[in-house]
Structure 1
């Protein structure tokens, strides 16, 4: 393949995209990746430089690492950033300014890490307060210049703990069947929408897999997935970020569609796909076996994107290893891409 053919083949990744009042120059999203470089929850100049490097190198949208709301159980990690409080918000305002100066767009992932016991331990009054804190953080994010927000409802963190029957034994209005267990998330989404207005994008991240069970499924069939997604969509989600470990794997038997593909088909909303894009191994091999991953072709990804299976593509470890990943791919310089190694984690921790 010539350089010109290579450049032409990737152009589906570099088409503009718009949702609400957010316009993106391309379809590449920097996936949220937990970092612990914000002492006492306050992001400094090093955090701003980290995100600016990706914006300078052509990433269309940056989703920050998880940022925690103002609640005692929201985080058990001292150096994970906050999305509340004067000092933390001032730090994030600097991050936003640096990313915008480099021509990028950025949204925070708003996060509560989860109940220390069970979600059933929270009173309804405390649940209501947590909902308010999500909304307060979203409003603050808009005020300091972020381009939207992402709500973290995946991976067995708090919102997902309400979703999953194994972690939600509640018998009040926040428990029950799969649809009833979406009530907490619906209230969060509705409160955030009221706080940020109609045109400020709300991205919602969810997953079938859990931190304690990679084979878990909230929905076993497309019909169940539709039932699960409908209340979230109607509550005000603009974009669904569909977290999988391998983007190429079909979500249900009888169809090649992945989770993002099914979500777009069932809701009509734009979706983000994610899961080992540009690499030959999924991310848990790093944590279980200490392994890196080699650069892998993205032909299948491009084919699916061209078929409108999903709208945006989130990239994690490949952008950690190589901040210039986006520019190199667009310019046909794939032979210059840097493989991911455990040493690259110095960018994360």
Structure 2
């Protein structure tokens, strides 16, 4: 056990230093304009979070291809950036880096998890649909080899723009069922070329992306990867797979590896309290006792990597558990996400000891299945609606802060779900009109 605490600084392999061990986890913002550009709403939001005390802030999904988004309000970086676009990104970066804060841009491609409101034909490693009801996602087509190579260069290009406009690092999103995660998942990746089959081939997109990004941004710029500890699906990307990929990333010279898990079909990362994985692997009971959802998986990975610091986001709610996890070496950075949608100044309160335990909003936010859906509603539907309703509740709090308002904790989850869905439809129509 070391004497590391949340107040301890961390020097990364590239030489950059985080002022403390608290990071704001990546959360989708939905604040871009109809042309998918950064806005003054990002500035207001990230000023608030930067002043809140975190050592590092991760942005939500910044997409590398406007055709394939996680949601209509994503910021997109592709092709040449106009002076106006660069100025907007620079203002965003300046806001998020005040108070000695690092601001890292999370880069992503949504793959087959692109909503049907954005495109009816998303892309994926193979033409395998997302197994969710309601027609939320169209049937994808398989990417060609040339398209895969283009995607790698898109990540590198976006990373270069991030550095040039003042962001202090990037994270490559390789988790949660988005495109890179899809390539890692043998349930989704059924290719027989060099991009599929063996784990080495399935990890090729991730590894080549890291290589291209490093070549673009240089050795002194932090590069992180978000990686699933498991997809929590039978026949999916397993925990043993994640350990091996983590070893390869460690050899590649990564600066921070964030350990997560799940995808839209098994949304463990959204609402672990309300959604139990039902397939090959479950969230371990001892992990629950230690608060953090993926900490035990990170502990396994930490024993396999030699140089790369680890970050775990999800579930941390007490200073005692945070400091214990850091002192044990199971993680090097504590990620806090959803609580910062309610209290942007929470890191400062944790760091100065004025707050020792974070309110567990995840235990309070529920749609109320019996009252709303009736006693005979299918349990999986209820859980799914709860997860998406809670997601909407937090997203609307982010939007309120982006608009200069305070969070509204009295908002019902049912109202949030309806408002969130309406907002997404309006944003999709505005984006389509601007195309």
Q: What's 1:82 paired with?
A: 76
CA contact under 8 A between 2:258 and 2:312: conserved in structure 1? yes
Q: What's 1:281 paired with?
A: none
Residue aligned with 1:168, SS:
coil
Matching of residues 218-297 of structure 1 within 5 Å = 218-221=237-240, 224-244=241-261, 245=269, 258-268=296-306, 269-278=308-317, 297=318
How far apart, in 2, do the equivalents of 1:188 and 1:68 lie?
Answer: 14
Matching of residues 192-203 of structure 1 within 5 Å = 192-203=213-224
CA contact under 8 A between 1:55 and 1:102: conserved in structure 2? yes
CA contact under 8 A between 2:24 and 2:340: conserved in structure 1? yes
Q: 1:236 to 1:318 in 2, by over 3 A?
A: same
Residue aligned with 2:5, SS:
helix
| CA RMSD, 1 decimal | 2.6
Shift of 1:22: 1.8
TM-score, with structure 1 as normaliser: 0.82
How far apart, in 1, do the equivalents of 2:354 and 2:156 lie?
Answer: 42
Matching of residues 1-349 of structure 1 within 5 Å = 12-19=5-12, 20-39=14-33, 40-69=35-64, 71-75=65-69, 77-84=71-78, 85-86=81-82, 87-115=84-112, 116-120=122-126, 121-210=142-231, 218-221=237-240, 224-244=241-261, 245=269, 258-268=296-306, 269-278=308-317, 297-334=318-355, 340=361, 344-349=394-399
TM-score, with structure 2 as normaliser: 0.66
CA contact under 8 A between 2:194 and 2:201: conserved in structure 1? yes
Residue aligned with 1:12, SS:
coil
Q: What's 1:286 paired with?
A: none
CA contact under 8 A between 1:41 and 1:81: conserved in structure 2? yes
Residue aligned with 2:304, SS:
helix
Shift of 1:201: 1.0
CA contact under 8 A between 2:229 and 2:242: conserved in structure 1? no
Shift of 1:49: 1.4
Residue aligned with 1:179, SS:
helix
Q: Between Structure 1 and Structure 2, how many residues are aligned?
A: 313
CA contact under 8 A between 1:110 and 1:151: conserved in structure 2? yes
Residue aligned with 2:214, SS:
helix
Shift of 1:29: 0.4
CA contact under 8 A between 2:319 and 2:357: conserved in structure 1? no
How far apart, in 2, do the equivalents of 1:169 and 1:315 lie?
Answer: 35
Residue aligned with 1:277, SS:
coil
Instruction: Give CA-to-partner distance per residue, 1:78-130, whole Å, 9 cap, x none.
Output: 32111343344432210111223333110100010014243131111111111
Instruction: Give CA-to-partner distance per residue, 1:286-331, whole Å, 9 cap, x none.
Output: xxxxxxxxxxx34223212112211001101111111111111122
Shift of 1:152: 0.2
Task: Kindly name which structure, 1 or 2, has the bigger radius of gyration based on alpha carbons.
Answer: 2
Q: 1:338 to 1:43 in 2, by over 3 A?
A: farther
Q: 1:154 to 1:249 in 2, by over 3 A?
A: farther
Residue aligned with 1:267, SS:
coil
Residue aligned with 2:180, SS:
helix
Unaligned runs of 5+ in 2: 113-121, 127-141, 262-268, 273-282, 288-293, 366-389, 400-435
How far apart, in 2, do the equivalents of 1:235 and 1:209 lie?
Answer: 21
Instruction: Give CA-to-partner distance per residue, 1:114-157, whole Å, 9 cap, x none.
Output: 14243131111111111111000011111111111100000110
Shift of 1:11: 7.3
